[in-house]
Amino acid sequence: MSDLDLNDYVKSIHDDIITLDAHLDIEVTFLTPEKADEIEYEKFASLKKMDDGRLDGAFFAAYVQQGALTDLGYRKAFNTVAKKIDQIHQTHNSMIDKVGIAYHPKDVFSINKTGKKFAIIAIENGYAIGDEILNIERFFKMGVLYITLSHIGHNQICDSNLNPQGSDTFHNGLSNFGKEVVLEMNRLGMIIDVAHISKQSVLDVISLSKVPVLCSHCGIKSIGGVGNVWDDEQLDALKTNGGVINIVGLNRAIKSVSEEKLHEIDNLREEFKFPIEFWAFFNAFDIAPEDKRSAYYQKLSEIDKKYPNANVHDYVDHIDYVVSRIGIDFVGISSDFYEHTYCLDGWKDVSENLNVTRELLNRGYSKKDIEKVWSGNIIETWKRVEEGAS
């Protein structure tokens, strides 16, 4: 098959199946057009880019950073997330002819038939629940369909797989309150997302949950990458549970960075008076002035040219591993795009989704397989969670 014929076939597959990204963060310009004249402005999932990449919909996550485990901290986190969820609804209302919100698996199909894009609401970091179990139902009534139990740093629910303060464990897995959270989410029919949580927390959730769970965005430890990655014991437990792991399109989780590149990046961070440690840098960079960020980007791009990022081929290696280890029914796709230096070569935003499908075809995946990976598996998990509640 020629490249031209292959490109046409890839597009035809996307026209025939439903494509669903398991994890995209929202921001203040959610789904709206580009701002081409704004310095370093990056849009990963505008409606135009979704059209270009033949993406039908996504779980859009309202993220909140980990804070103090105090009443004040919990209130701030709840309000931050509630505001972001309201933002999703307001954006939806302003473009109701183009986007629908899915509250049930069947909504995905009915919205897709109208030609609209669909949005599914999620929360990243259960810290926003606070210590009130009723907040889960409050979020559910706002339209939230999954909650990632923790993020960077241990919280009141469970341990994280990375804690910037240095302690490996706080609860040694799920806390007692976390166990209540799992059962309450089961009762409501809300999907439990076990991305970012510690290995013991993952195993505890799977042991306790009465329905399949979701790992919304993750890499595979034995293939490459650091941070949000899983090992074989977690994969095997997920298969027993019947859930799905969605491989994430972030460079760090797909391919470990060489020591030489890390050294140059450390020197660059010191030059700009940023912290060297990854998450301390991440937080400081996020609030840095625009001109400082832009200058840093420019120098970082020179380093990137010397040491290429992971690419789509490396990404599909992770999908291959999951399929060979536990089967085609347990893997899906997520991007978690943050900014271009964290993305993969060949998949910098949703407009390049077709490159992932092209690589799957090159590896011998059938159209039926590709449909499972792009949406079928996660929708099946969602159905089983909803059925478990009823």
Segment 266-306, tens digit of pLDDT: 999 999 999 998 778 878 888 899 899 889 988 988 988 88
Give CATH 3.20.20.140 domain extents, the chain. 3-255+311-389
* CB neighbours of residue 280 within 10 Å: 13
Residue with tokens 């014929």: 5
Does residue 260 register a pLDDT over 60? yes
pLDDT value for 211:
98
CA distance 284 to 280: 6
Length of the chain: 390
Quickly name the fold that domain 3-255+311-389 has.
TIM Barrel (3.20.20)
Least confident of 106-110, 317-321, 347-351: 347-351
CA distance 30 to 47: 9
**Helices 377-389 and 105-113, packing angle to 10 deg:** 130
* Cβ(336)–Cβ(23) below 8 Å: yes
* Cβ(145)–Cβ(190) below 8 Å: yes
**Helices 232-241 and 199-208, packing angle to 10 deg:** 20
Which of left, alpha, beta for 172 (phi over 0: left; psi -120 to 50: alpha)?
left
Mean pLDDT calculated for residue range 84-90? 91
Instruction: For residue range 178-218, list pLDDT tens digits in order.
Output: 999 999 999 999 999 999 999 999 999 999 999 999 999 99
Q: What does pTM read for this prediction?
A: 0.90
What is the torsion angle, in degrees rounded to the nearest 10, for the CA atoms of residue 81, residue 83, residue 89 and residue 92? -100
Tell me which DSSP letter residue 373 carries.
I
* Cβ(123)–Cβ(101) below 8 Å: no
